[in-house]
Amino acid sequence: MKITIRSTNDTLSAFKLRSELNQHIWEGDAHLHPEVRARLMKIANDFIENLDLAGVTIKDIVITGSIANYNWSKYSDIDVHILVDFLEVDENAELVKRFFDAIRSNWNKTHLIRVKGHEVELYIQDEKEPHTSTGVYSLLHEKWVVKPQLENPTLDRLNVKKKSLTFMREIDKIESLLKLEEYPRVEKEGQRLKDKIKRMRHAGLDSGGIYSVENLTFKVLRRSGHLKKLFDAVRQSYDASMSLAD
């Protein structure tokens, strides 16, 4: 499939600063609408109950990301982060993180809940993990942890476009390999690309924040559907390579 510059421009056009927070979600810039907070708390509490984390204290439940900032758009998810101390679960914090990531990923794949038109995504986060977002709101305490500021960032759209198109072509190549049933290559190259995109985004957030070229490239790939194509290709290749004919 040919990737056009226009399709990338259409996705990039959503990255613009608003004069106010999403007023379907927020009351001015002070608090969430009560019905929104109540629904998000219900979703989070149901998820926590199913985890059955005996002896683990929930430190906070926050929402973050673009929906809690002035750069929200129709693409914005409502990212709900449940904060716990990983060491209260097990002394191997990295193992705990992988365990929670798997649970979170499965929940997000099997549920499609929209609040005021925005999809709800759940995360479990170590309370010691630093905040990279410039907007963080506590559902438990009904106040801002990090209040967003109305700023006018400079977006390097040209480099975001170039980097996005490069990744899109690589992802389309992997999808083509899947159609040719070259499953080992799909798994190897697909996993390599997944890891590369993950490292890229983390590096961008650490060095340049949410408006970095790397983070915006990640968002373009997610909003264009290419990240899903990549993950689906790796999963499908594994399933096919592990299957046995009758």
Confidence of residue 10 (pLDDT cuts 50, 70, 90): low
Closest CA relative to residue 223, chosen from 4, 18, 36, 9: 9
CA of 72: how far to CAs of 44, 163, 246, in Å?
22, 22, 50
Taking the C-alpha atoms of residue 166 and residue 145, their distance in angstroms, rounded to an integer, is: 37
Sequential DSSP letters for 187-215 = HHHHHHHHHHHHHHHHHHHHHHGGGSHHH
Question: What pLDDT score was predicted for residue 5?
Answer: 47
Contacting residues for 141 by C-beta, under 8 A, at least 6 apart:
60
Question: What pLDDT score was predicted for residue 139?
Answer: 97
Half-sphere exposure for 9 (CA within 13 Å, toward CB): 3
- Average per-residue pLDDT in the chain? 89
Per-residue pLDDT tens over the stretch 148-169: 988 777 778 889 999 999 999 9
Question: What pLDDT score was predicted for residue 116?
Answer: 96
Tokens at residue 228, please? Answer: 């899903």
Burial of 34 (0-12, 13-18, 19+ CB in 10 A): exposed
Token look-up 């999403």 returns: 22
Taking the C-alpha atoms of residue 156 and residue 154, their distance in angstroms, rounded to an integer, is: 7
Residue 219: CB atoms within 10 Å = 24
- C-alpha dihedral sign at 126, 127, 130, 131: positive
| Backbone phi and psi for residue 82, each to the nearest 5 degrees, phi listed first | -100, 115
pTM of the model: 0.75
Question: Element (H or E) spanning 10, and its range?
Answer: helix 5-12
| Backbone phi and psi for residue 140, each to the nearest 5 degrees, phi listed first | -65, -45
In this model, does residue 3 exceed pLDDT 70?
Answer: no
223 near 11, Cβ under 8 Å? yes
Confidence of residue 15 (pLDDT cuts 50, 70, 90): low
Confidence of residue 58 (pLDDT cuts 50, 70, 90): very high
Token look-up 């794949």 returns: 109
Residue 6: CB atoms within 10 Å = 8
